[in-house]
Each structure stands twice: as C-alpha cells, then as structure tokens.
C-alpha cells in the first residue's frame, strides 16, 4: 500500500501517523527540525483527548508523566474569591473526568517511542526533512525539498503549523485576527499552591495590580508553574521582558521577598484564524495549519489531535475503497465548524472575560460563574463544552 505523507512531527502529525498505522496504513512523516521541539507550548490535555490517547496506547504513560487535575478555576487575585469547576461531573461521559497537565513534548516523545517499538516498518519518520514544494495532479501528490528524495504519494496531511507549506500549496488564505496584546510565558520553580489557598493546577486570575494589564494565569506542570504575564499599561513588550520587569510581575503575584528562579521565558502573539476548507484535492490540513486560537482554555493542541483522529479514519476509509475523495469534504464538514464555533469562538470568549477590567463587571461575571459551578446540571453542560466533548459529539453526527 502506498504511503501517506505527513508534514510535521508535532503531536498532531505523530498522532495521525500512529492512528494510521493502527488502521494498517503506512506513512512517511517529514519534519524540518532535527528533533522534537521542547519549547514552551501547550500543557493541558482535556478528557476526550485522554480517551483517544488511551486508544493509541500512550494514555497511561502520559498520565504517569503529568499532573491529574480534577478542578480548574477562575479567581480574583485580591481576595481569592473564585469559581471552581469540578470535572468529576463528567464521570459518565469520559473515562478521564479531569484535565492532565503535562508538556506537549512529553506526548511527542511517547508517540515516537510507540511508533519505533510497534510500527517501525509501517511509519517512516525523517527529521531534517524540509518540504519546499507541494504539487498535485489527479492521481497523486509530489513533494520535494531538502533532506529527502522527492516523494509521490496518494495524499498529504499538512500538520506543519501556522506557517504551513501545505496550506500555501493549497492556495488558501488564513483569514482572522491577531490580538493586540503579547503574552509572556514565564516558568518558575516556586510553588504558588503553598501560598494561595485552594489553588488548582489551572487558574485564570483577574488582578487590579498595576504590574499587569488586568489578568494573569497560573498553570502547573510537574515540578514547575507557568505564569502567563502581560505588559502593564504603557509598558512595551521589550520593557516587560526585562529581567527586572519579570521579577516585578512575579513579586506582584506573590511578594515572596527573595528573587524568583525563572527557568524559561517566551513571548508570543495570539491569533484567531481559520482556513475556509481543510481539504483541496489530495491535500489536507490539521491542527495549527488549519486553525489558530487563543490558548485560554487550552483547546488548540487538543483540537489538532481530534483533527488527526478524524483524518486518519477518513484516509483509511478512502484507501480501503469505502468511499472516494468526497470523504475529505466530510472531514472538513466535521472538523471546521467545531474549530470555528467550539474552539476559536469559545477561546475568544474566555480571553474577553479575563480581559475585563471593570470591578463591578468582574464581580457579576464571577457570581455567574460561581452559580454555574455550583449547579450540577449547568456545571456539566459547561464542562462538556469547555472540555470539548460537546464539539466532538456534534462533529460525529455530521454526514
């Protein structure tokens, strides 16, 4: 059987390769970099994603390397008032009624190991293989570049991120917006849970402290806390990145007196963008190559993994003769609306809520969130959506 080409060896591309292999479909994964990136990226895995990873045979190993997180919260910095969402209400909807906090590179390493151990002959992974040209005709797709011989394959999956070469070959625009603020992700070894009562592993926090522009977040991964910081009013990104400014912001979160140990620092801009179609002929897109969203809510990587699982099933059906190329249109019909309505729009609402600065409006929002968290029916409905289960169920019903 001919190999499918997957461009990009992030978690989305590797999940696609592993699922295809389980379905008996060989693939070649082309990655421009020399190794898996361990940069500061996603760190939250939602319940249905963990269900999928169990099916891939890597769920338990990832859980062992992460932090099981049964609650998450929206909190007010000044007095600790908070709305706490308990995912145990989803125990009838998922085998994993919690979030898992683990760096995405840990999943990528586990996927590589699983592929090497169980599917070495089925999946070929080439690092330092940069795709530069993608062209298709009626029968196949040709890829050329550096670090690999030209390939002619029946299908290509672009899992190659925001600057996707596959998307450019499809001639697709990437419409949307770039948010005005820059997020600064700082990782520290300091244990914030020791000084804040009732802190969860995932916390979105309103603050009135002048060191910030209204909000910050604290997310825990094994042995570390990630603080998402924002420049203060009138502070440039360059000024906010200065060591003294980072220290000032961390001390504003908690004035511990002695300097914070900052392990990693990464500034990034936030986008909301989506292509009009995830497929064109024999070319397809998944993950950040197809859609970008605010990280508020931790849905980007998870949505990409969900794309990969759906795309693997679609490719398998076509190659087994159960349908023709029109099944790729169904892939777009199932996944694009979920990204647009359930991921991008929901993340945008999350961001807008946390950017609220009016104290009275914040109080009203917090009271509403507390009522939702305390009502079992409303809480379950909210968590089904924020945990991405609602979107997956809606997609599965699309024919």
| C-beta of residue 307 within 8 angstroms of C-beta of residue 48 | no
pLDDT at 331: 98
What pLDDT score was predicted for residue 297?
Answer: 83
Residues of the chain where predicted confidence (pLDDT) is lower than 50: none
What's the pLDDT score for residue 96?
98
Measure the CA–CA gap between 258 and 192, rounded to whole angstroms.
Answer: 14
What's residue 354's pLDDT?
Answer: 92
Q: What is the Cα gyration radius of the chain?
A: 21
Q: Which two tokens stand for residue 177?
A: 């917006």
Contacts 24+ apart (CB under 8 A), 368-376: 369/74, 369/83, 370/82, 370/83, 372/83, 373/83, 373/84, 373/85, 373/86, 376/89
Determine what percent of the chain falls in helix, strand and coil, rounding each to the nearest 5. 40, 25, 35
If one looks up domain 4-67+103-175+272-354 in CATH, what number appears?
3.50.50.60
pTM summary value: 0.96
Predicted pLDDT of residue 394: 95
List the helix and strand counts (H, then E) for the chain.
13, 20
Task: For the chain, give every domain's residue range.
Answer: 4-67+103-175+272-354
Task: State whether the Cα torsion 244-249-250-252 is positive or negative.
Answer: positive
pLDDT of residue 228: 95
321 burial level (CB within 10 Å; 0-12, 13-18, 19+): exposed
pLDDT at position 3: 95
In this predicted model, what pLDDT tens digit does every residue of 315-337 receive, in sequence order?
999 999 999 999 999 999 999 99
pLDDT at 298: 86
Per-residue pLDDT, 171: 97
What per-residue confidence (pLDDT) applies to 345?
Answer: 87
DSSP calls for 160-176: --TT-HHHHHTT----E
Pick the closest to residue 94 from 43, 44, 42, 54 (CA basis).
54
pLDDT score recorded for residue 314: 98
């Amino acid at each position: 059987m001919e190999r499918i080409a997957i461009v990009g060896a992030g978690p989305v591309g590797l999940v696609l390769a592993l699922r295809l292999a389980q379905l008996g479909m060989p693939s070649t994964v082309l990655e421009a970099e020399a190794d898996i990136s361990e940069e500061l990226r996603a760190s939250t895995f939602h319940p249905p994603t963990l269900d999928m990873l169990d099916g891939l045979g890597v769920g338990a190993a990832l859980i062992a390397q992460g932090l099981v997180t049964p609650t998450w919260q929206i909190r007010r910095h000044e007095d600790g008032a908070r709305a706490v969402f308990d995912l145990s209400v989803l125990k009838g909807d998922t085998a994993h009624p919690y979030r898992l906090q683990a760096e995405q590179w840990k999943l990528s390493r586990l996927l590589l190991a699983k592929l090497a151990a169980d599917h070495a002959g089925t999946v070929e992974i080439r690092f330092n293989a940069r795709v530069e040209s993608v062209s298709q005709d009626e029968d196949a797709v040709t890829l050329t570049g550096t670090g690999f011989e030209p390939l002619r394959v029946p299908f290509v999956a672009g899992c190659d991120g925001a600057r996707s070469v596959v998307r450019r070959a499809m001639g697709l625009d990437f419409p949307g917006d770039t948010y005005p603020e820059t997020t600064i992700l700082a990782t520290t070894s300091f244990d914030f849970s020791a000084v804040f009562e009732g802190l969860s592993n995932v916390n979105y926090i309103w603050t009135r402290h002048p060191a910030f522009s209204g909000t910050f977040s604290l997310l825990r991964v094994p042995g570390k806390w990630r603080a998402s910081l924002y420049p203060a009013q009138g502070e440039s990104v360059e000024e906010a990145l200065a060591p003294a400014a980072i220290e000032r912001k961390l001390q504003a979160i908690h004035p511990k007196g002695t300097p914070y140990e900052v392990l990693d620092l990464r500034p990034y801009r936030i986008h909301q963008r989506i292509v009009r179609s995830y497929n064109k002929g024999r070319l397809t897109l998944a993950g950040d190559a197809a859609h970008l969203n605010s990280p508020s809510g931790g849905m980007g990587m998870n949505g990409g993994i969900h794309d990969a699982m759906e795309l693997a099933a679609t490719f398998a059906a076509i190659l087994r003769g159960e349908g023709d190329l029109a099944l790729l249109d169904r892939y777009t019909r199932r996944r694009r609306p979920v990204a647009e309505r359930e991921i991008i729009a929901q993340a945008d609402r999350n961001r807008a809520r946390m950017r609220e600065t009016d104290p009275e409006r914040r109080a009203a929002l917090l009271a509403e969130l507390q009522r939702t968290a305390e009502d079992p029916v409303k809480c379950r409905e909210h968590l089904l959506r924020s945990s991405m289960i609602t979107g997956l169920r809606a997609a599965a019903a699309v024919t």
